[in-house]
Amino acid sequence: MHTASVLAALMTLPVLAADPAAAVNPFFAEWKTPFGVPPFAEIKEEHFLPAFREGIARQKAEVAALADAQAAPSFENTIVALELSGQFLDRTGSVFFNLTGAETNPKLQAVNREVMPLMSAHRDDIQLNAKLFQRVKAVWEARAGLKLDPDQARLLERTYKGFVRAGAALTPEQQVRMRAINGEQSRLGVDFGDRLLKATKAFQMVVDQPEDLAGLPEGTRMAAAAAAKKASLDGKWLFTLDGPSIWPFLEYAQNRELRKRILTGYLERCNQGGDTDTNAIVSRVTSLRVEKAQLLGYRTWAHFVLEENMAKDPKGAYGLLDQIWKPALEVAKKERAELQAMMAKDLPGQKLEPWDWRYYAEKVKQAKYDFDEEAVKPYFAIDRVREGAFAVAGKLYGITFTEVKGIPVYQKDVRCFEVKEQDGRHLGLIYVDYHPRPGKRGGAWMSSYRAPWIKDGKKVDPVVVNVCNFTAPAGDRPALLTSDEVRTLFHEFGHGLHGLFYAGRYRGTAGTPRDFVELPSQVMENWAMEPEVLKLYARHYKTGEAMPDALVAKMKKAATFGEGFATVEYMAASLLDMDWHTLTDAKPQDTAAFEKASLAKWGLIAEIPPRYRSPYFNHIMGGYAAGYYSYIWSAVLDSDAFQAFKEKGNLFDPATAARFRAEVLSKGGTEDPALLYRRFRGRDPRVEPLLEKRGLK
């Protein structure tokens, strides 16, 4: 069969489902919605499983036709043909997995428990297909004479290595074990996520005495009262483990016992036995990863993962962490002494504990800098902050954002904006989803409902989404963000720009290594608090007046305060992740004992818990296993990249912005990220800008 015939066969395979329900299932129809977005109101939980089964069946048929093709393997009839397969399945999965993160419910969770093993087995069926692998391998071995473009060479490399790293070169007996490992891992991953969500949402601290609210800002009290009323606890105040609830409580509540109770609830999630405990899951997953890595010929899971990252191996990751850990720990110890001294004024003879750190940090910051975080919140109304992020992107890249009314959304508070190029051409859509809900997991992330690529010679326009858990509106006040939440909004928006700007031909070259993917997001944070940028958006929610220069100056002066704590708590989690994934023995671990030994080895001080403890370390149960270090690796890149703008004396220098978009944001994973960065910056990154920015030098 000729190349054109293979491609045509893949694109014209019939619908395989015989179920009459397919006629009313939105996944079996063209979406005639604005911009072709998912018709959320029409999609029901019962539609997903039939759609997944149909998608799997279609891709199986596509792959079978490809593997059985008679024509000699070529880049087009093998690598591109495989790249084009699975579009029905991808469309189904993009909606489903976005909803299970942002708007799940028991029905979706039940579907997820059934779908994940199906998907795991389906991936194995493709990547362990011997005939298909032989065709891919033949193209790989002939690559020197194919005269491929850089993105084509990258797609070929990723495809071939993807098969090898999935076990295609293993013996049949080894592949049987690989399938079993993958299937078990997929089930454990779903179980971990379900338990973590349940444990997080189950914690409630009800306050019924007004005096126990002493020290709390008005907005925090109002939000707690609204949460209590929603929970049928009228006249009381409800605090949860959602970020906008727990962190202000720890920073401002004078009641030390209640601070201890809520932080203990946070730190002991999934660690108290019962149906939300995850210790056995963590132990089992890490054991399976050791076995899988060694089955594939790697010493540890970290060696397996980091081979594809900029760090290349554990030595590279540990090397960077060690450079920053030591100065950060020294700064944190100095901060501890300051906090202990402040605490001695209130509680002579008492020792500083983890639940005291944020409270006394606020007191010290106010004393040293005459700066109170609450003073800036009225200038950070969420809509203005979002508009500020949009304005920065407009000044850098010439793009515009216009809200699209009446477009399908998956939850009533979600908003959608059309993004256009400077000349008015449609670039894509961005959904924003900013506040906590019972069915939304914690944290903040960016994802896509439709990724950009070139299909039949025409660009597929992206649909991206930013999902966060920010302070919600309270009473007649809009949502007023903390400075950390402002930076998070800019951060996730940076990921959104990366998704919108990708201009590659292939879906398979869109993704970047974990330790590079945070560069586009983290670099945006640098603009958020610059005085020049604050003038664009930081206006009082009542008066509309710009943030006073004196307050801006105080905020900037206090900017590096607490960086010892922030860097150490993050890096402790990064080191814990690396220690878990440099295990060489697959024997089960006592999770608590392993964690304790790891943190003791690095000298973490008792007053600072790691940002994530093992039982609720969701990052390393998913895509950031042996990769949580990537935030600090990318922080080196983003600090150095932002310095390029500062060196020009213009935070919006057009030439620098155009080069950053062309060499970083639009390229995705089409080329080696180190090469892309060098083309943007003219050299390799330097660590000094990061150390200076964080006050660690």
Backbone angles phi, psi at 478, to 5 degrees: -70, 170
* Strand 453-455 versus strand 445-450 pairing type: unpaired
Q: Directed axis angle between helix 45-67 and helix 3-11, to 10°?
A: 160
Report CA-CA distances (Å) from 312 to 305, 317, 623: 8, 8, 17
Q: DSSP assignment, residue 546?
A: B
- The Cα 322–Cα 303 span in angstroms is 18
> Backbone phi, then psi, for 203, in 5-degree steps?
-70, 130
C-alpha of 512 from chain center: 13
Q: If you search the block for the tokens 């997953």, which residue do you land on?
A: 285
DSSP string, 458-526: EEEPPEEEEE--PPPPBTTBPPB--HHHHHHHHHHHHHHHHHHH---S-GGGS---HHHHTHHHHHHHH
Per residue, the 3-state secondary structure of 10-51, as one string, reads HHCCCCCCCCHHHHHCHHHCCCCCHHHCCCHHHCCHHHHHHH
252 vs 592: CA distance, rounded Å: 30
- Please state, in angstroms and rounded to a whole number, the distance separating the CA atoms of residues 85 and 97: 19
| 3-state secondary structure at position 649 | coil
> Distance between CA atoms of 91 and 455, rounded to whole angstroms?
14
Q: Which residue has the tokens 């428990």?
A: 113
- The answer to whether 517 touches 634, Cβ cutoff 8 Å, is yes
Q: Assess contact for 417 and 399: CB atoms under 8 A.
A: no
Cα separation, 452 vs 459, whole angstroms = 7
Cα 564 to Cα 570: distance, rounded to the nearest angstrom? 10
Identity of the amino acid at 508: G
Core vs surface per residue 571-589: b (16+ CB within 10 A) or e:
bbbbbbbbbbbbbeeeeeb
On the CB side of 298, CA atoms within 13 Å amount to 25
Nearest to 158 by CA among 676, 591, 685, 671: 671
Count the alpha carbons within 13 Å of 653 in the hemisphere toward its beta carbon: 15
Helix, strand or coil, per DSSP, at residue 179:
helix
Contact yes or no for 436/242 (Cβ under 8 A): yes
Token code pair at residue 545: 């007046």
Contact 434, 401 (CB under 8 A): no
* Helix-helix angle 519-528:483-501, to 10 degrees: 130
Only one residue has tokens 């959608």, namely 416
Note whether 26 and 33 are within 8 A (CB): no
Handedness of CA 627, 633, 639, 642 (dihedral sign): negative
Residues 96 and 4: their CA atoms lie apart, in Å, by 33
Active site residue 421: no
**Phi, psi (degrees; rounded to nearest 5) at 232:** 60, 35
Catalytic residue among 62, 103, 362, 492: 492
Catalytic positions: 492
